[in-house]
A and B are shown apart, each in its own frame.
Chain A
């Protein structure tokens, strides 16, 4: 198998299945399949699991570019779209769980929450920005948008920041877990700042610039 075939028949299906595992556990737990339990408050468990999985996939998506550069693993880029789409998928499930299972589709209460609770406001903003990125992830949209596609997809940075902030803001006292997410995000963003700064100074000195991060 050449590299393209390996990605198509091995790596992509493997990532696809792994990314579905958190959902599989939630579904099994919700219906008591295979002795899996979601504990005494399954709604809360589903809510938090979807939210955290979305954030984890978002961070993994953002880790692809540094890995490509540092590890010379250029082919990893082939997995990035799927990872990003799964992040959007779990973020959407997180919202649906909140609106449906937690708030019983009481739109008045949901709207009040979005307007009055800052951590929900920013979470909602992140989700709304994630939607156009998911929609325009196809080859067709990439072609149609041309250079503007890249600009649009820089939205991933504010989305990730708002997402981690949303997590941080809703914990009661124990910030260790959101702190870990924030540290990883800071490293991933910091890496890009450093690369960008180097490329700018390299250009200023008249040498050929590194490709954009």
Chain B
């Protein structure tokens, strides 16, 4: 039996400008209704009954211009159809096809290890006290392509502080959901499932390190790592672990999945570095997604252009060895 094709065609996707206008009008409408007293309030309640409308408004977060770059972001379509998310298949187009039915509610995140506040937290618990903001970051994949993406999220540091890591907490280890039913890519041992990533404590606490819950002012699509993913813009994309279900504070440096798969090709730090090549390809240049067929490659910048903010984290380290 052929399943109905419920894919969103590119033509159906609202351009961000139109989308934002619509949101603003809705907010205005709500405000004037509220001003209108009882009748207004009743109507407002009816509106509010549509909880997703209110929820969605939260993702239209103000842009943190200080930490955003000025470049024009890639299109919503490119960001949501060109994905490396091997849990849903190894082709770039697989995740947007195979993650459609992925259930992200209810979602729990287990916090453990070297910290005072431990346990299982619902996503709502995690997200309630934080303020969302939008940050336009560069994304550089280890495969030498790059994008510019307007993420919505909050600093990881804000989250970490709530769990009161102890002095023994030297690293943070993140784990992706393991669910062979829902994540067809996990049925093949392409990687050692579940996906694991880690950050040194000072990297995790860095103001650029972002926990992402949305993109382009909308809730994060499944193929982009819903409902909760990491973004470290100065590192190669594979550090940005998706669909996180566990965060542990640990003393020893965790083994991240790609390092386990090919230790001579992928390290723990994975800092973007044009001078240290991947053994099988050069990292000196990158192809920016969204350009014309004949677009020129651009030079890759040290720490993906974030050297000013993060270079001090690695002072005195041999970045050729600690790749």
Task: Please report A residues at the B interface, Cβ cutoff 8 Å.
Answer: 30, 37, 39-44, 101-104, 106, 109, 112-113, 116-119, 169-170, 172-174, 176
Contact = CB atoms under 8 A, between A and B. Distances in A.
A180 to B, nearest CB: 14
Contacts of B287: 41, 43-44, 102
B81 A40 contact: yes
B145 A44 contact: yes
A101 B280 contact: no
B78 A117 contact: no
Given A39-B81, A109-B282, A113-B282, A104 B297 contact: yes
B289 interface: yes
B145 A173 contact: no
Contacts of A106: 297
A170 B278 CA distance: 12
Contact of A174 (B78, B93, B190): B190
Chain B: number of interface residues, binned into ranges = 20 to 34
Contacts of A109: 282, 284-285
B91 to A, nearest CB: 9
B43 to A, nearest CB: 42
Given A109-B285, A174-B86, A42 B293 contact: yes
A173 B290 CA distance: 26
Nearest to B279: A117
**Of A116, A169, A170, A174, which is in contact with the most chain B CB atoms at under 10 Å from its CB?**
A174
B261 A173 contact: yes
Interface string B269-292: 000000001001110110101100
B289 A41 contact: yes
B82 interface: yes
Interface in B296-314: 296-297
B280 A41 contact: no
A43 B293 contact: yes
Contact of B293 (A30, A39, A117): A30
20 contacts: A30-B293, A39-B92, A39-B93, A40-B74, A40-B77, A40-B92, A40-B289, A42-B293, A44-B145, A104-B296, A106-B297, A109-B282, A109-B284, A113-B282, A116-B277, A118-B280, A172-B262, A173-B190, A174-B188, A174-B190
A104 B296 CA distance: 6
Binding site of A, secondary structure by majority: helix, strand, loop or mixed?
A: helix
A103 B293 CA distance: 12
Interface in B63-107: 74, 77-78, 81-82, 86, 90, 92-93
Contacts of B188: 174, 176
Contacts of A113: 281-282
B78 A40 contact: yes
B191 interface: yes
A40 B285 CA distance: 18
A41 B92 contact: yes
Contacts of A116: 277, 282
A99 B281 CA distance: 14
A117 B280 contact: yes
Given A39-B82, A39-B92, A43-B293, A119 B282 contact: no
A154 B294 CA distance: 38
Contacts of B74: 40
Contacts of B93: 39
A117 B92 contact: no
B197 to A, nearest CB: 15
**Of A39, A42, A103, A173, which is in contact with the most chain B CB atoms at under 10 Å from its CB?**
A173
A36 to B, nearest CB: 12
Contacts of B145: 41, 44
Nearest to B143: A172
A103 B190 contact: no
B294 A101 contact: yes
A104 B294 CA distance: 8
B35 to A, nearest CB: 44
Contacts of A104: 296-297
A136 B11 CA distance: 49
A44 B91 CA distance: 12
A203 to B, nearest CB: 46
B266 to A, nearest CB: 9
Contacts of B294: 101
Nearest to A38: B293
B296 to A, nearest CB: 5
Interface in B187-230: 188, 190-191
A119 B278 CA distance: 13
Contact of A117 (B77, B281, B290): B281
Interface in B125-154: 143, 145
Contacts of A172: 90, 143, 262
7 smallest beta-carbon distances between A and B, as pairs:
A40-B82, A40-B78, A174-B90, A174-B190, A173-B190, A40-B289, A104-B296
A113 B282 CA distance: 8
Interface in B169-192: 188, 190-191
